[in-house]
Amino acid sequence: MSDRNILLPVSEIPRQWYNILADIQLNPPLKPDGSPVTPEDLAPVFPMNLIEQEVSTQRWIDIPEPVLDVLRIWRPAPLYRALGLERALGTPARIFVKNEGLSPPGSHKPNTAVPQAYYNKVFGIRRMTTETGAGQWGSALAFACAQFGIECRVYMVRVSFEQKPYRKTMMAMWGGQCVPSPSSETRAGRAALARDPRTPGSLGIAISEAVEAAVTDPSGKTRYSLGSVLNHVMLHQTIIGLEAKKQFASIGLYPDVIVGCAGGGSNFAGLAFPFVLDKINGRELAIHPVEPAACPTLTRAPFVYDHGDTAGYTPLLAMHSLGHDFVPPPIHAGGLRYHGMAPTVSQLVAEGIAEPRAVTQSEAYAAGVLWARTEGTIPAPETANALAQVVKEALQAKEEGRAKVIVATFSGHGLLDLAAYEKYLAGELSDVQMSAEELRKSTEVFQNYPKPQALKSR
Ligand SMILES: Cc1ncc(COP(=O)(O)O)c(C=O)c1O
C-alpha cells in the first residue's frame, strides 16, 4: 500500500530560501537608455530590504521567524501521490504533485506575499498596491497584508474580475480593495481605455496601474508588489521545491521529470529551482515549464529586452516576451495571460536547462476534469495546464514502459473557477492559437531595444 500524502513534520520546514542567482548568470535589468538599473532607481517602487534581496547573489537566505510563523498556517504542504490518475492512465509512472492549493487564498502565491508584506512592514510602509490576473495573487497579498496590518489595493484584469466576482469578496474579507483594470484612476488605465474601451485588460496594463498608484502617492508610504517575474519572488517560492526534496528523500525517490505551469514563472521556479541546482551539477533531469498555446511566451517568443508592463514603467528585463503591448486572448487560465517571463526562468530556457511545453486550453480543461474525477480535488485552470503535461509525460512513460517519477506543482484549487469549467463541460470553450503574423507584429517593437547577451551558466 502506498501513502497518498507524504507529509513533512512542521519541525522540518525549510529555514532558508535557495537563491538561484548564486548559480546562474543573468543579463542585468536596464533603463530605456541602455544603462544598468541601480538599487536607488527602484527605491520609489519597492522597499530597500526587498531590493537588496532582488540583487543578492548569496546562495542561501534566512527566512525570518515572523514569516515562518505565518507560513506555518498551511506549510509544510503535502507531497501528494496521484494513485487514482496513475490507475486511470494505466501508466507505470509514479505521479506526484506538491499541493499548494491548501493555503488560505488557495494557491502558491502567499509563499511570496507573506515575506513581501513582512519586509514592507519592517521598512515602515503602510499601503501596498498590486495587480492580479486570476485573482489568486491579489487574494494572497490581501491575506498577507492582513497578517501584518498593511492596507492593500489590487488592480484586477477586467476579464478575470468579471469571470470571478468572488475573488473581490475574498480580498475584502482580508480588508483589501479590488478594482477592475484598466480603471480610470490612473494615467496608464485611461490610456488603455482610450485605445480600446472594451479591452479585456491584461497583466501588463494592470501592472502599469499598480506601479503608478504606488509611485504617485504623495505620502511616500506606499510601495508596489509584484507576484511573479522578479528574482526575490522566485527566491521566496523555492520553499516549495526545498520541501519537496525532503519529502522525496523521506521515501527514497528522486524525480525524473519536473513540471510547473508558468505565467510569470514563480510557481514553476518554486518547485524547479532547487532541483535545477542538481541539474547544473550534472544530474539527469527533465524540467518543463508549461504555458498555454494561446500565450506562447517561452515556446515561441524571442529572448529579448522588454518592459514587464504595458506603459513601460518597469525597467527592461532580459526575458522571453511576446511584446509588452500584446493583449493575450481571454483564455480562462487568467494567471497565465502574461506577455513576459521571469528573467531567471527565461535564462534557463535560453540555456536549454529547462525545456518549455505548450498545451491547448481544451487539453488543460480535459486534464482538470480527469484530475477531479480520479483524485477528487478541483484544480485551478492554471494548474490544469501543468496537469495536461503530466498526463502527456505519464502516457509517454507507458509507451516506454518506464516507471518514471513525475512531479508537478498543484499550484492552486479551482473552487472559484467553476464558471470556466461550466463552459468547458457545456462544450463552449474554443482553442485559440497565435498566428505567425500576430507574433511578428507584437514583437516588432524589439527592433530598437538593446539585445541580451548569450550567457552560459554551466
Ligand atoms: C493557481 C495559479 N497557478 C499558477 C499561476 C502562474 O503564476 P506564476 O507563473 O507567475 O507563478 C497563477 C497565477 O496567477 C495561479 O493563480
pLDDT tens for 287-335 read 999 999 999 999 999 999 999 988 888 899 999 999 998 888 877 888 8
How many angstroms does the Cα of residue 341 sit away from the middle of ligand 1? 12
- Over residues 402-420, the mean pLDDT reads 96
Q: pLDDT band for 353, please (50, 70, 90 cuts).
A: very high
Query: In the prediction, which pLDDT does 396 show?
Result: 98
Rounded Cα distance, 420 and 119, in Å = 36
Query: In the prediction, which pLDDT does 447 show?
Result: 82
- Over residues 423-428, the mean pLDDT reads 96
Rounded Cα distance, 294 and 361, in Å = 8
Q: Which of 186-190, 330-334, 342-346, 399-403 has the lowest mean pLDDT?
A: 330-334
Q: What mean pLDDT is reported for the chain?
A: 95
Nearest atom in ligand 1 to the alpha carbon of residue 267 is 11
Rounded Cα distance, 97 and 283, in Å = 21
Nearest atom in ligand 1 to the alpha carbon of residue 134 is 14
Q: What percent of the chain has pLDDT above 90?
A: 88
- Over residues 237-249, the mean pLDDT reads 98
Query: In the prediction, which pLDDT does 311 show?
Result: 85
CB neighbours of residue 63 within 10 Å: 18
Which residues surround ligand 1 with Cβ inside 6 Å?
A: 107, 133-134, 136-137, 228, 261-268, 335-336, 380, 382-383, 411-412
The sign one gets for the Cα dihedral 238, 242, 245, 250 is negative
pLDDT tens for 38-97 read 999 999 999 999 999 999 999 999 999 999 999 999 999 999 999 999 999 999 999 999
Answer whether 8's CB lies under 8 Å from 250's CB: yes
CA of residue 245 relative to chain centroid, distance: 20
> Maximum CA pair distance of the chain?
64
May I ask the CATH class of domain 5-9+64-106+232-448?
alpha beta
Residue 182: asked if its preceding bond is cis (omega within 30°), the reply is yes
CB neighbours of residue 359 within 10 Å: 23
- Helix (H) / strand (E) element for 286: namely strand 286-292
pLDDT tens for 257-277 read 999 999 999 999 999 999 999
pTM of the entire predicted model: 0.97
Answer whether 67's CB lies under 8 Å from 354's CB: no
For ligand 1, atom 5: residue with the closest CA: 335
Query: In the prediction, which pLDDT does 132 show?
Result: 95
Closest CA to 229 of 141, 131, 313, 317: 317
Residue 209 has pLDDT above 80, yes or no: yes
Query: In the prediction, which pLDDT does 312 show?
Result: 87
CB neighbours of residue 401 within 10 Å: 8
Residue 457 has pLDDT above 90, yes or no: no
How many angstroms does the Cα of residue 422 sit away from the middle of ligand 1? 21
Q: pLDDT band for 1, please (50, 70, 90 cuts).
A: low
Nearest atom in ligand 1 to the alpha carbon of residue 413 is 1
Q: Where do the structural domains in the chain lie, given as residue ranges?
A: 5-9+64-106+232-448
Answer whether 96's CB lies under 8 Å from 78's CB: no
Residue 36 has pLDDT above 80, yes or no: yes
C-alpha cell at 213: 498608484
Q: How far is CA 253 from CA 125, 354, 410, in A?
A: 44, 21, 19
Q: Checking DSSP bridges between strand 60-62 and strand 177-181, what pairing results, if any?
A: unpaired
Q: pLDDT band for 182, please (50, 70, 90 cuts).
A: very high
Q: Checking DSSP bridges between strand 286-292 and strand 257-261, what pairing results, if any?
A: parallel
